[in-house]
Amino acid sequence: MRRRDLIKAGLWLPLAPALLRAQAAAAAPDAGVPFDDATVPALARRLAAQPWREPAQGLPAELAAIGYDQYRDFRFRAERALWRGQGLPFQVQFFHRGFLFKDRVQVNVVREGRAEAVPFATDLFDYAPQPVPRVEQDIGFAGFRLHAPLNDPQRFDELCVFLGASYFRAVARGLGYGLSARGFALGTGEPEPEEFPAFREFWLERPEPGAGHVIVHALLDSPSLAGAYRFRIAPGAETVFDVDARLYPRRTLALAGIAPLTSMFEFDAGDRAGVDDWRPAVHDSDGLALLTGAGEQVWRPLANPATLQHSGFQERDPRGFGLMQRKRDPSRFQDIEAAYENRPSLWVEPLGDWGEGEVHLVEIPTADEYHDNIVAFWRPRAPLAAGRESRWRYRLHWCDSHVWRPRLATVAATRAGAGAGADGARLFVVDWEGGALDRFAGDASPPLQTGASAGELRNAVAYRNPHTGGWRTSFELLPGGADAVELRLALGAPAQPLSETWLYRWTR
């Protein structure tokens, strides 16, 4: 099964959803149970104090056995969307259980301080040409998606989706789906099997007419921890999620991943070894961006390595990090169907001090574009202690681009290939655009800062790119006997940088 087909069919993130049969009852003042911002943290705390139990599925056999083609036919009836026709700025649809999404998710609606469950019903879905499944109980849902007037005030567009484990995705104005976020990552890329905590229950607060945001609460659970999440979701040119995550470990967690991002990178101009493909590039994201606690802006191009690769960027109180898609010209991809130029970037902005730790990047080998192989997250230096609350607040920016230090030039492209000689040198060419570099005119050129963890660098130069009006730098690496070399490049003096810092890992 191809990842692109899942995305197009709405099954990789979005697909179909459900409505509340008893909306009138939900409006009654005595309906449901009391709910406020302390409800889900209290549930998570009590849950973490108990031994973990595998959730009961209760999924009929005929639904547990269906495949992709059958599941694709399970279409939610848009006219049954929650809050439809009520003059509200958001609508909700729900995902049917089945295929890859067998886990039961309970969804509740909150109004005037009371929460009531959304019941499953087969009449919320159009199954044709499949027969309507025989469901004799409330089986819940697999997840949900939100719609809002994102691109046209007269039309509700798909905004975000929560589906599968703790995965969620969103779009911004003019963009489509691409990379994912997760509630929590544990043991990603490690020798032991990775654990995938899952959102087991959601509470959707009914928005007021004209509201610019909607509130979603979620209860996370897994063998190792429980958690309470509050998402404040505001659509726009940047769709912004304010996240308040409160974690309650059942055991000490040394390999925690906070604010994890998951994306796909197969190849680009700087990483085409062994590629036999008609397109110049294939990726949802092309680089990891960092804004360090000291204020250094960093760009690390992504790679599709021959073997699994971990990179840790040691930090204290980072200002932000993200997996970004900088290429926006369709000619950079030449793929009309996939439209990789419309995939969003995702920037994580910590709210408050995060202390010591590292922005951790995992790059996994992939032979195709259908599997996510890039993960980035914050790993705190101190393990999360069992039996104690660990709280993390951050803001997610789903966007076209994100400006950190506007005066700095940014990396526009990275290219690599064989050097001109026969001594095994590698040639690197980096294009830059924007920022204060424009002040260098005529024959003047900015100073270069270069560095390599091994080998020798030579012939480093900076010169104007007459086609873009920006600057191009190039240099050769003679690796010698090294199997891996960490490269560093920036324009300007250390005390007065003119560009962000380019980092690259070369491997033999």
Fold of 410-507: Immunoglobulin-like (2.60.40)
- Contact call for residues 488 and 451 (beta carbons, < 8 A): yes
Share of the chain above pLDDT 70, in %: 93
**269-273, 412-416, 419-423: which is most confident:** 412-416
The pLDDT score that the predictor gives to residue 354 is 97
Looking at residues 213-235, what average pLDDT do you find? 98
pLDDT mean over 25-39? 75
pLDDT value at residue 421: 81
231, 203 contact by CB (below 8 A):
no
Cis peptide before 209 (omega within 30 of 0): no
- Which segment of 13-17, 58-62, 246-250 scores lowest on mean pLDDT? 13-17
Q: How confident is the model over 172-193, as pLDDT tens digits?
A: 999 999 999 999 999 999 999 9
pTM of the model: 0.93
Q: Percent of the chain, pLDDT > 90?
A: 86
Q: Give the Cβ contact number of residue 358 at 10 Å.
A: 17
> Mean pLDDT in the chain?
92
The span from the CA of 183 to the CA of 166, in Å, is: 5
Q: How many residues does the chain have?
A: 508
Q: What is the spatial distance between Cα 314 and Cα 312, in angstroms, rounded to a whole number? A: 6
Q: What is the pLDDT of residues 332-387, one digit of tens each?
A: 999 999 999 999 999 999 999 999 999 999 999 999 999 999 999 999 999 999 99
Taking Cα atoms as reference points, which of 475, 286, 488, 500 lies closest to residue 411? 500
pLDDT in tens, 309-331: 999 999 999 999 999 999 999 99
Mean pLDDT is lowest, of 53-62, 79-88, 424-433, for 53-62
Please identify which residue in the block is written with the tokens 């509050």. Answer: 230
| From the candidate CATH numbers 3.30.70.2190, 3.30.450.20, 2.70.98.10, 2.60.120.10, the one assigned to the domain spanning 3-399 | 2.70.98.10
Compare 21 and 110 and report the one with higher pLDDT: 110
pLDDT surpasses 60 at 404: yes
pLDDT, position 57: 84
| Structure-derived torsion over alpha carbons of residues 329, 331, 335, 340, reported in degrees to the nearest 10 | -20
> What is the predicted pLDDT for the residue at 441?
61
Maximum CA extent, the chain:
81
pLDDT in tens, 438-497: 776 656 789 999 999 999 999 999 999 988 888 999 999 999 999 999 999 999 999 999
- Which parts of 65-142 are beta strand (E)? 75-76, 91-95, 106-111, 114-117, 125-126
Q: Name the residue type at position 425.
A: A
Asked if the model's pLDDT at residue 157 lies above 80, the reply is: yes
What is the model's pLDDT at position 508?
Answer: 87
Cα end-to-end span (Å), the chain = 32
pLDDT of 5 strictly over 70: no
Res 482: pLDDT = 95
Separation of CA 313 from chain center: 19
Model pLDDT for residues 86-99, shown as the tens digit of each residue:
999 999 999 999 99
In the block, which residue shows the tokens 């406020």? 36
Domain assignments of the chain as residue spans, ordered by start: 3-399, 410-507
Cα–Cα distances (Å) from 104 to 117, 165, 190, 247, in that order, read 13, 10, 28, 21
Q: What was the pLDDT predicted at 342?
A: 98
Whether 410-507 and 3-399 are alike in CATH topology: the answer is no
